[in-house]
Amino acid sequence: MAGWTESFLGGGDVGAGPEDRDDEANESVATAASLVGAPRQAGFLIRGRRADGSQNSRRGQRSEGDRGEQALPLQGANRTKGQDSSGTGENQGGSAGASPSRQAPRSTDDANLEMRAGAGGSGVLDALRRQMRLRHRALATERAYVDWVKRFIRFHELRHPAELGRIEVEAYLTHLAADLNVAASTQNQALNAILFFYRYVLNRHKELGDLSGIVRARRPSRLPVVMTIDEAEAVLGALSGDSWLVSLLLWGGGLRLLEALRLRVQDVDFARGELRVRDGKGRRDRLTILPERAKGPMREKVLQTLEAHKADVADGYGEVELPDALARKFPLAGFEPGWQYVFPADGRSACPRTGRIGRHHLFETTVQRHVKRAAKRAGLGKRVTPHTFRHSFATALIENGYDIRTVQELLGHRSVNTTMIYTHVLNRGGRGVRSPADLGSRRG
């Protein structure tokens, strides 16, 4: 297979070219401001800005790249450090197209792993990215799968995937478990990535069979780390700013970290005391609790977000990424206040899929770092992460007598068996048994 490294794993386009915006379209923040009881604010001018800084001001027209956008296949994106934080998740949508006028330079990594392109001249990794986006996989999942396919090919010394079959797949997955001692979840992710690649890109999944020769990593049975109410409050007391408010939502509403960071202004219902979680794990929506003590800080945060959005729009930006194809159906919806993230990032960044410059949500690593430091300052000896607040939320509800089905709905679990793990706290030190050492201490 001489020469296969000259065309494999080619880096794709940054993404769809930005659409021209109507320079006379005015959107006000009145709707969003009314949600938080703020006075009506004046409207502001919406202007489109390209990633290169140029503005579009023609009314009712599209650029050449935009007119051809729907007919172009979606190309992959090579994210570099400093781009927006959507890599964890879930920037799933905007326009599904790629502007041929804006090409991202290939990374050194991809250039070293290139191979013969398939039909139509598209790289295999670009085809993998397209298949992932066709099925609405998260951006974090897309990046993980691409990385696993690269590792798989490197392991077999850059042999062409057409030469690799069941034996090679089993050898690589066995290597992960036996030589690298990876966790069962890591091996399963690698397996899922390779199966996806063979099924939807190479169309050879049937040749793999049942892969019964794999040495599987053992999945340990672990119990979640939880905090008492006093411990949770102590950690909250050592936090401040956005990290404190996000952690309060995790503790008071049982949200996952990314679910809290992806909250939009319209997802906060102050009147009903509810938070609407959109497109959560498993692509399921649900309602959960907005704590009473969080309402005041959330109102202030929403107002700050709307002010920042107004300033962005005045500068020619202000568009936020929308789920799936909403950006194509409603071109100006991304500028609406209701769609803005409640917890926006401090600065603007380019979306790795669409290339549009805007303000994404806060980095999840920022909250993770602050919570870890707060736990140390609070003197907790256990390992505390933002997800620990979610575990503690579920445990506290069960301890206070709430029905397990109610807790399941608030957490968004598909199966009640997943929720049942939190009942371990009710056992209190070994199924409710009092230690004989404690019984004997009374005699002393």
CB atoms within 10 A of CB 26: 11
From 108, 89, 127, select the one nearest 12 (Cα to Cα). 127
Which residues partner with 287 through β-bridges? 276
Q: Using the structure block, give the residue that is written with the tokens 């969003």.
A: 32
The residues assigned a catalytic role are 256, 281, 387, 390, 413, 422
Burial class (CB in 10 A: 0-12, 13-18, 19+), 435: exposed
CA dihedral 253, 256, 259, 261 (to 10 degrees): 90
Q: How far apart are CA 331 and CA 198, in angstroms?
A: 36
Q: H-type helices in 156-265, by residue range?
A: 166-178, 184-196, 229-237, 241-253, 257-261
Rounded CA separation 333/358 (Å): 14
The secondary structure element, H or E, covering residue 133 is helix 124-134
Between CA 137 and CA 377 the distance in angstroms is 38
Angle at 358 between CA 352 and CA 364, to 5 degrees: 70
Sequence-separated (6 or more) residues with CB below 8 Å from residue 307: none
Dump the DSSP string for 337-388: GGGSBSSB-SS-EE-TTT--EE--BPPHHHHHHHHHHHHHHTT--S---HHH
* Three-class SS state of 90: coil
